[in-house]
Amino acid sequence: MKILIAGFQHETNTFAPTKASYTSFVQGEGFPPMARGAGVLALRDVNVPIGGFIKAAEAAGHELIPVIWAGASASAHVTKDAFERIGGEIIDAVSQGGFDAIYLDLHGAMVTEHVDDGEGELLERVRRIVGDEMPVVVSLDLHANVTARMFKHASALVAYRTYPHVDMAETGERAAQILERLVSEARPLHCAVRRIPFLIPVNGMCTLVAPANDMYGMLATLEKEPVVSVSFAPGFPAADFPECGPTLWAYSFDKDDAERAVDALYSKLVAEEARWDVPFLTPDEAALEAIRLSQSADKPVIIADTQDNPGVGGDSNTMGMVRALLRHDARDAAVGVIWDADAAAAAHRAGVGGRISIALGGRSGVPGDAPLEAVYEVEHLSDGRFRFDGPMLNGMHGELGPVACLRIDGVRIAVSSIKMQVFDRNLFRVAGIEPERMKILVNKSSVHFRADFEAIAEAILVAKAPGPMAADPADLPWERLDADMRVRPMGTPFHALRAVAA
């Protein structure tokens, strides 16, 4: 076959402070930077879905027509300009024809300035051009808010099964296998869908622990002939539109088998609703517990500063955990990565060993947070270029812009000029901080950091310091959620909350 391939990834937190511009996608912000044509094919060895699809399709002898691949860190809405420019390149290529099938590497939780459902909009535009018969297979993130338009216009959707997302390339391979089945069978797949009636906190979705690992374990057992594919997307619980929430679906050439598979998973999930709830610590509780544990530990205690995770829409510059560490006189602690280009520039002007008086971070406008005005010692400087050696993007090169390590009392702070989630230890090393030698590490991340950090952790704590991304979805000021959706496991339906507010 000749297969047109493209990718457009964004996870949108509609409550976040900063939108995703076209420049965000050019830079990548933790994803590979924007690529076109042959540059897309260079992603074959990167752990992203399109990489896995490329390798599988090339091995099967197919000819690929690469268009564009673009991703940006989670944030508020994708600007109309960015969506239309990137999506427009894909649509233009589709309009030119000359291919037998389409593969798209999408996220599934994109909200734009002008469209609630970015992926559904893109797929509908594609389908208008190619008609109903063309196979269009799509891979989705585990955090997709899968919509009716996506199901209608895609021939098949397949989602990741791990969080941290170590199976992104594997998911692309599975998409290639599904495409092969669609073409060889020459008949449509039946799709069974079930929507889950409660939002799941992001921290509760980690597949390294229960209940998520149990859920995906059962899912794998149900994917056997004639069932071609089973997916569970716990969703991204920070997109304020009616189709936000978890979804289960299965494809089979036998309709009844697809229905049985999703019914079994749905029954398990709903029966175990209470298990999906997550306990959180305050910043002071997390700092004190980390200090206590670190006194007798030979590995660092890690605190997830989850509400300022740039992977879910935070700006990675709130200072709540830094203040808590300082209040309790933490020693040998490191915080990463604070996104503050002005502070990094000031450090580079001062040089290593210099002292700078600045107001660091605190630019997200979050209640309870503010810049931390102090005198900092510049301990290390770099150009911010590094390689990912952890499991998620192993072998890919990253760019943080000018980077500095600033020290205040017993706390070292990695400061960057480009925003990026800490899911690889090298984001500390590029700032001159050896993470294994620290007593305490504060990571601006929710779950992805576990892929590379869990092996060196004495313990992992989750803190709710002030930040743009509410770790508990019940804390968000919802306005457009589905009326019957419960805002957290065992929580109140949205219509009841709205009635009380009225």
At residue 389, the pLDDT reads: 95
- pTM: predicted TM-score of the whole model, two decimal places: 0.90
497 membership: H or E segment, kind and range: helix 494-501
What are the tokens at 206? 């980690």
Query: Phi/psi of residue 462, each to 5°?
Result: -120, 120
User: Is the domain of 200 the same as that of 183?
Assistant: no
Domain boundary among 156, 187, 218: 187
Long-range residue pairs from 182-185, CB within 8 A, at least 24 positions apart, any chain: 182/135, 182/137, 182/155, 182/156, 183/1, 183/100, 183/101, 183/135, 185/253
User: Is the domain of 324 the same as that of 428?
Assistant: yes
At residue 434, the pLDDT reads: 98
> CATH code at 90?
3.40.50.2300
Cα separation, 284 vs 224, in Å, equals 49
In the block, residue with structure tokens 């929507």: 195
User: Is the domain of 201 the same as that of 344?
Assistant: no
The DSSP output letter for 109 is B
User: Is the domain of 297 the same as that of 335?
Assistant: yes
User: Is the domain of 460 the same as that of 479?
Assistant: no
User: Is the domain of 32 the same as that of 74?
Assistant: yes
At residue 499, the pLDDT reads: 83
SS (H, E, C) 213-233: HHHHHHHHHHCCCCEEEEEEE
As for how many domains the chain has, the answer is: 3
The DSSP output letter for 323 is H
Q: Using 50 as the pLDDT threshold, list the residues of the chain that sit under it.
A: none
Domain span holding position 444: 283-470
At residue 466, the pLDDT reads: 94
At residue 188, the pLDDT reads: 83
In residues, how long is the chain?
A: 502
User: Is the domain of 64 the same as that of 29?
Assistant: yes
Cα separation, 274 vs 176, in Å, equals 36
Other CB atoms within 10 A of residue 455 CB: 12
User: Is the domain of 154 the same as that of 199?
Assistant: no
Cα separation, 66 vs 197, in Å, equals 38
At residue 502, the pLDDT reads: 66
Long-range residue pairs from 117-121, CB within 8 A, at least 24 positions apart, any chain: 117/147, 117/149, 117/150, 117/241, 117/243, 118/8, 118/10, 118/12, 118/78, 118/83, 118/87, 119/144, 119/147, 119/149, 119/150, 120/147, 120/148, 120/149, 120/150, 120/153, 121/87, 121/149
Domain boundary among 160, 187, 214: 187
User: Is the domain of 446 the same as that of 333?
Assistant: yes
Sheet holding 403-408: strands in order across?
355-360, 372-382, 403-408, 411-416, 333-339, 440-443, 301-305, 459-463
Q: Give strand pairing partners of 416.
A: 339
**Cβ-Cβ contacts under 8 Å for 443 (sequence gap 6 or more):** 302, 303, 304, 305, 336, 422, 449, 453
pLDDT tens across 319-338, in order?
A: 999 999 999 999 999 999 99
User: Is the domain of 98 the same as that of 13?
Assistant: yes
What are the tokens at 154? 């895609």
User: Is the domain of 383 the same as that of 418?
Assistant: yes
**Cβ-Cβ contacts under 8 Å for 238 (sequence gap 6 or more):** 13, 14, 15, 16, 244, 312, 313, 469, 470, 473, 476
At residue 339, the pLDDT reads: 97
User: Is the domain of 26 the same as that of 172?
Assistant: yes
Helices (H) then strands (E): counts for the chain: 15, 19
> CATH code at 497?
3.30.70
